[in-house]
């Protein structure tokens, strides 16, 4: 194995080390128990408020199906962007590893940094891999940039941000504050990606070179320069893609994210027999994900449970502890499976891919 490949392997092993699941898992569990303690104190949780029937089992199954649809949407999009250069199995591995990297990284950073390696090691050139990852980020952020104002217009800003007796449209409302910051970051990031991918890809090359001019990253500066040149070439190809190409990719993106949001709707039907306000619940979840971008913890652990239990509290029975427990169940469906998948897939994938390189 070449020296640079060995360094790349060690760097990747460090970034997606299975031991890293301990930190977000512990933070999330401690946050749940901490919030639960302060909410109930001398009170007891009234589980009678949870209506668990055969319908509940059905909608828990539907919630799991929505998560599967979310991942299938991601896999479809990956195959579209790669122009079917990867198999379904390869697409599954990349998505699971990408989600795992995101789950153990701060929300603002995500798993994009190592996603290029995941894609490249499945047989796609480094430049095209970088272009695919950037196009993926562009499409994800585009969903939020479009849907956020649509939800505000459809639901009304006051309704969307009001919680209990707390008025929505003021900066004293912490959730309104989080949403504004998160949306601003997403908008700025996507404007940069749009400009780099479709107007002036040279700016991405210069950004890469600037990043890899940092002392500890200089060893990969030549690779970054080659990747920058490849991105410029692939950017030209992306701009030539027909409308149908982007329509399919955008459609897969909407399928993925919308399915993820409907998980909560299914859970609320399962536990609380909720029959109304599903569109408002969907809209609030979208805003909630924008808020989660400001979380400094890996995968938003702790912060996500807090935002969920507080921001969606009006949809649940007003009984101490139930909101926190529901938030934890939500994370069991939407977060922890990716930690488990990464632990199972990650080590073997690294061994296989770098062993394959050694044989070449």
Give residue 171's pLDDT: 60
What is the DSSP code string of 124-186? --HHHHHHHHHHHHHHHHHHHHHHHHHHHHHH-HHHHH-BTTB-SSSTTSHHHHHHHHHHHHH
Residue 358 has pLDDT above 50, yes or no: no
Give residue 360's pLDDT: 42
For the chain, give the percent of residues with pLDDT over 90. Answer: 20
The domain segmentation of the chain, as residue ranges, is 3-359
Range 148-153 average pLDDT: 88
- By the 8 A CB rule, do 98 and 118 touch? yes
Give residue 19's pLDDT: 67
- Chain-wide mean pLDDT for the chain? 79
| Higher pLDDT, residue 208 or 82 | 82
Range 152-167 average pLDDT: 76
Q: Angle of helix 336-359 relative to helix 22-40, nearest 10 degrees?
A: 180
For the stretch 118-136, pLDDT in tens is 888 888 887 788 888 888 9
For the stretch 2-25, pLDDT in tens is 444 555 566 665 666 666 667 777
Least confident of 52-61, 77-86, 102-111: 102-111
Residue 346 has pLDDT above 70, yes or no: yes
For the stretch 285-319, pLDDT in tens is 888 888 877 777 777 777 888 888 888 888 887 77
Report the alpha-carbon angle 106-3-119, nearest 5.
45
What contacts 146, CB < 8 A, 6 or more positions away? none
Give residue 40's pLDDT: 63
Give residue 39's pLDDT: 61
Least confident of 6-20, 85-99, 207-221, 323-337: 6-20
Q: How far apart are CA 155 and CA 143, in angstroms?
A: 17
For the stretch 241-291, pLDDT in tens is 888 999 999 999 999 999 999 999 999 988 887 777 888 999 988 888 888
Give residue 20's pLDDT: 66
Give residue 359's pLDDT: 45
Give residue 95's pLDDT: 93
Q: How far apart are CA 155 and CA 147, in angstroms?
A: 12
Confidence of residue 49 (pLDDT cuts 50, 70, 90): low
Residue 1 has pLDDT above 60, yes or no: no
Give residue 102's pLDDT: 83
| Higher pLDDT, residue 146 or 10 | 146
């Amino acid at each position: 194995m070449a020296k640079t490949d060995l360094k790349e392997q060690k760097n990747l092993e460090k970034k997606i080390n299975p031991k890293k699941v301990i930190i977000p898992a512990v933070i999330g569990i401690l946050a749940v128990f901490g919030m639960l303690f302060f909410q109930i104190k001398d009170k007891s949780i009234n589980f009678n408020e949870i209506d668990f029937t055969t319908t509940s089992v059905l909608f828990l199954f539907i919630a799991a199906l929505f998560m599967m649809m979310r991942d299938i949407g991601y896999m479809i999009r990956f195959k579209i962007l790669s122009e079917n250069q990867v198999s379904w199995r390869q697409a599954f591995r990349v998505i699971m590893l990408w989600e795992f990297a995101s789950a153990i990284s701060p929300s603002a950073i995500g798993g994009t940094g190592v996603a290029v390696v995941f894609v490249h090691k499945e047989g796609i050139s480094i430049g095209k891999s970088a272009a695919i990852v950037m196009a993926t980020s562009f499409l994800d952020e585009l969903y939020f940039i479009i849907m956020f104002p649509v939800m505000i217009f459809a639901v009304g800003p006051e309704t969307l941000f009001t919680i209990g007796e707390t008025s929505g449209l003021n900066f004293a409302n912490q959730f309104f504050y989080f949403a504004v910051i998160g949306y601003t970051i997403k908008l700025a990031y996507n404007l940069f990606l749009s400009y780099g991918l479709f107007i002036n890809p040279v700016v991405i090359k210069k950004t890469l070179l600037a990043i890899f001019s940092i002392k500890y990253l200089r060893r990969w500066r030549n690779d970054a320069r080659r990747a920058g040149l490849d991105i410029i070439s692939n950017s030209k190809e992306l701009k030539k893609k027909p409308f149908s190409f982007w329509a399919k990719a955008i459609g897969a993106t909407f399928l993925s994210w919308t399915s993820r949001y409907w998980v909560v709707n299914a859970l609320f039907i399962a536990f609380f027999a909720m029959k109304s306000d599903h569109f408002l619940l969907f809209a609030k979840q979208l805003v909630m994900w924008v808020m989660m971008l400001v979380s400094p913890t890996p995968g938003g652990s702790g912060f996500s449970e807090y935002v969920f239990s507080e921001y969606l509290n009006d949809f649940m029975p007003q009984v101490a502890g139930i909101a926190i427990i529901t938030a934890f169940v939500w994370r069991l469906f939407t977060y922890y499976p990716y930690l488990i998948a990464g632990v199972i897939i990650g080590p073997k994938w690294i061994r296989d891919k770098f062993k394959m390189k050694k044989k070449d």
